[in-house]
Amino acid sequence: MISSVSRRALYGLATSSRFESLVKATGYTEDLAYRAAKRYVAGRTLDETVETVRRLAESGFGVCLDLFGEGNDDEEGVRRVVAGYEEAAAALSGTGGDVYLEIVPSNLGLDLGVDVCRRHVERLVELLPTGSRLEVSAEESWRTPRIMDLTLALAGDGAPLVATVQANLKRSPADVERLLEAGVPVRLVKGAYLETSEVAHPWGEPTDTAYLHLAHQVHAGGAGLVLATHDPVIREALLAAVPSAAVEMLLGVREDDARALVTRGHTVRIYAPYGQSWFRYWMRRVAEAQGT
């Protein structure tokens, strides 16, 4: 049934609190949905998540761990998110894995103000083990200016960051220049949000072309480059030109490709989100699989 629903409609369902409530109305329907979502989710509980991280580390992958959530505009809620990351950092300390933490800025109070979010993110920076980094996620274009301000402010304080740039956004070349000046590594994604033509390139060839140009811009500027795409044509073309680039892939997507890249000697990090708010993330993955 899902395969007959358009990508735009699925994105609408992914952001519908009413639809999520209907699915989670009974244990049966929620468990049914989670069985389908599980391939993309590191775990609903921290114990499940730690086991997933161990499995990925044993297979030669780095991990980017993200606690589900977005649009958190309540200070107490933000503090709970920080506490969740603290608990995760403590639990992961004995795994021996190469684990980064990922943050969604709006889950840490961005909508309350850049300074509010920055204060909470600085606490997470303190939790990072030696050699780890904090990956700053991209969100909708209307939040992008504040995310850039947050990222550059943290970088100015010496925080070990990886910024995320969406190739479909028309503003991205200018954002890359600012990140290059600050020496911030860039994780390049195509862009997962439905945006208007005023701010974004159409999905398909225009976004693919933008992705290639931005990757070369980052490399020419001397910053670290992370190719966060499952498009094998684009990925292989860029790895041939920039063999030092790392690769990031989503948990549960093109797993054979990820293993092959590790075998070939490439650095591959798996984005592994976890927590109770898994439903909207899963719906977005389903939407992306439907194309335009």
**Hey, what CATH topology would domain 42-274 get?**
TIM Barrel (3.20.20)
The pLDDT tens digits for 202-249 are 989 999 999 999 999 999 999 999 999 999 999 999 999 999 999 999
Going by C-alpha positions, the residue among 277, 251, 272 that lies closest to residue 23 is 277
Give the C-alpha separation, 279 to 34, whole Å: 8
Contacts of residue 226, defined as CB under 8 A and 6 or more positions apart, other chains included, come to 162, 185, 186, 187, 188, 245, 246, 247, 248, 269
pTM of the model: 0.88
Q: How confident is the model at residue 277 (pLDDT cuts 50, 70, 90)?
A: confident
The tokens for 261 are: 């890249």
Burial class (CB in 10 A: 0-12, 13-18, 19+), 264: exposed
Place of tokens 């949000």: 193
Give the C-alpha separation, 43 to 66, whole Å: 11
The pLDDT tens digits for 73-101 are 899 999 999 999 899 888 887 777 799 99
Q: How confident is the model at residue 10 (pLDDT cuts 50, 70, 90)?
A: low
CA distances to 16, 119, 256, 259 from 63, rounded to whole Å, are: 29, 25, 17, 14
Question: Mapping DSSP to helix (H, G, I), strand (E, B) and coil, where does residue 91 land?
Answer: helix
The pLDDT tens digits for 127-166 are 888 889 999 999 999 999 999 999 999 999 999 999 999 9
Domain residue limits, the chain: 1-41+277-292, 42-274
Place of tokens 């840490």: 108
